[in-house]
Amino acid sequence: MHEFSLAQGLHTQLMDLVREHGMKSVKMAEISIGSNAGIVEESFLFGFNVLAEQYQETRGIELVVNHDNSSDLILQRLELE
């Protein structure tokens, strides 16, 4: 199930950004999932939410999902606290 690996990668990226910028948490992350990326969105979101709730830095995060015609998963914007 590559969706969980992708969710882990996004979560790791968010945790790295929190530490890199000396912040305490991620309030919101906006991502784009391409329709040609081959990602089962429901599985990806389930995996991400399970991970997010395990860490203080990402607990309660608002994950905004946009869609486009690409084959990518892209972190577009985030709000740190």
Distances (CA, A) of 19 to 13, 22, 68: 10, 5, 30
pLDDT in tens, 8-43: 999 999 999 999 999 999 999 999 999 999 999 999
pLDDT value for 1: 61
Q: What is the pLDDT of residue 81?
A: 96
Calculate mean pLDDT across residues 34-63.
Answer: 97
Query: Span 40-60, mean pLDDT?
Result: 98
What number is the average pLDDT over the span 53-81?
97
CATH number at residue 69: 3.30.2320.50
End-to-end Cα distance, the chain: 32
pTM, two decimals, is: 0.94
Pairwise CA distance, residues 48 & 46, whole Å: 6
SS3 38: coil
| Mean pLDDT within 54-68 | 98
- Domain count along the chain: 1
Domain that holds residue 14: 2-80
